[in-house]
Amino acid sequence: MLEDLMDITTILNEYLLKTEDLFVANKNIWFAEFADSFQLSCAKIVNLQKESSLPAISYLEYTMPRTNFINRRYTAEVWVYGDDWYLDKNQHMVGEYDLSSLFVHFNELWDKLISARRRYIGKATVQEVNSHMMQMLPDFYSYLISIARFAIKDLVDKKPYIDIARNEVFRVNVGEYMGRTEPAYTEKKSKNAEKLIEWFSEQLAEEYFFGDYSGLDFSGRSFQKTDFRYAQFRNSVFYDTSLKGSSLIGASFRNANMEKCRMDDCLIYEADFSNAILKNASFKNAYAKTGLSDDRIWQSVGLLPVTFRNADLTNADFTGADLAGADFTGANLTGADFTGAALDSAIFKDSVGRIERA
Which structural domains are found in the chain, ordered by start? 2-163 (no CATH), 191-358 (2.160.20)
Buried b (16+ CB within 10 A) or exposed e, 275-295: bbbbbbbbbbbbbbbbbbeee
Sign of CA dihedral 8, 14, 17, 22: negative
pLDDT band, very low/low/confident/very high, at 121 (cuts 50, 70, 90): low
Please name the residue ranges forming H helices in the chain: 2-5, 8-50, 66-70, 104-117, 126-151, 193-200
- Residue 100's Cβ-side half-sphere holds a number of Cα atoms within 13 Å equal to 5
Q: Is the pTM of the predicted complex or chain greater than 0.85?
A: yes
Give the number of other Cβ atoms within 10 Å of residue 43's Cβ: 17
Buried b (16+ CB within 10 A) or exposed e, 134-146: eebbebbbbbbbb
pLDDT digits (tens, 9 = 90+) for 132-149: 888 899 999 999 999 999
d(CA 95, CA 284): 44
Report in angstroms the alpha-carbon separations of 320 from 70, 168, 249, 323, 340: 49, 42, 18, 9, 5
Report in angstroms the alpha-carbon separations of 112 from 21, 23, 140: 19, 21, 16
Top-confidence residue, 16 or 129: 16
Question: Which range is least confidently modeled, 117-121, 144-148, 240-244, 302-306?
Answer: 117-121
pLDDT digits (tens, 9 = 90+) for 80-106: 999 999 899 999 999 999 999 999 999
Cβ atoms of 77 and 65 closer than 8 Å = yes
